[in-house]
């Protein structure tokens, strides 16, 4: 909260294609559940400690982060982590939903 509005929410569209509620919710679940290697809890080697929330929490507690003076720079670093998970979750969502993938591919 000290950084202002904080990270933005996921868009309700992917490449101009409007997501339905189920697709949007799945994107959020994937983003917040997958580990840093894109693995889900049912996958071998899944590491809950490398999911988005613990990674961001560790970042905020790090000495390097604490030394950053500008709020904008802190928010940029946090956003980079979030966008990385968001992007990986987007790819997984599209691989799980061939119809959505075809719509997105048609828009590109």
Q: What is the pLDDT of residues 21-57, one digit of tens each?
A: 999 999 999 999 999 999 999 999 999 999 999 999 9
Which residues face 18 on adjacent strands? 13
The rounded percent of the chain whose pLDDT value lies above 90 is 88
How many Å apart are CA 89 and CA 28, to the nearest integer? 8
How far is the CA of 69 from the CAs of 29, 31, 94, in angstroms? 32, 28, 38
Q: Show the domain range for 83.
A: 18-107
55 part of a folded domain? yes
DSSP label of 18: E
Query: Is 14 strand, coil or helix?
Result: strand
Q: Which two tokens stand for residue 103?
A: 């719509």
How many Å apart are CA 6 and CA 30, to the nearest integer? 20
9 part of a folded domain? no
2 part of a folded domain? no
* Mean pLDDT value of segment 80-98: 96
28 part of a folded domain? yes
96 part of a folded domain? yes
Flag whether pLDDT at 6 surpasses 80.
no
71 part of a folded domain? yes
Q: What residues contact residue 101 under an 8 Å CB cut-off, 6+ apart?
A: 94, 95
13 part of a folded domain? no
* Mean pLDDT value of segment 85-92: 96
Q: How many domains does the chain have?
A: 1
């Amino acid at each position: 909260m000290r950084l202002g509005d904080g990270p933005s929410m996921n868009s309700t569209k992917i490449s101009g294609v409007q997501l339905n509620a189920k697709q949007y919710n799945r994107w959020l679940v994937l983003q917040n559940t997958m580990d840093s290697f894109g693995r889900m809890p049912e996958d071998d080697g899944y590491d809950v400690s490398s999911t988005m929330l613990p990674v961001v929490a560790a970042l905020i507690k790090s000495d390097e982060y604490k030394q950053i003076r500008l709020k904008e720079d802190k928010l940029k670093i946090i956003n980079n982590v979030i966008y990385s998970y968001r992007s990986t979750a987007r790819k997984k969502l599209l691989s799980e939903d061939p119809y959505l993938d075809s719509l997105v591919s048609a828009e590109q």
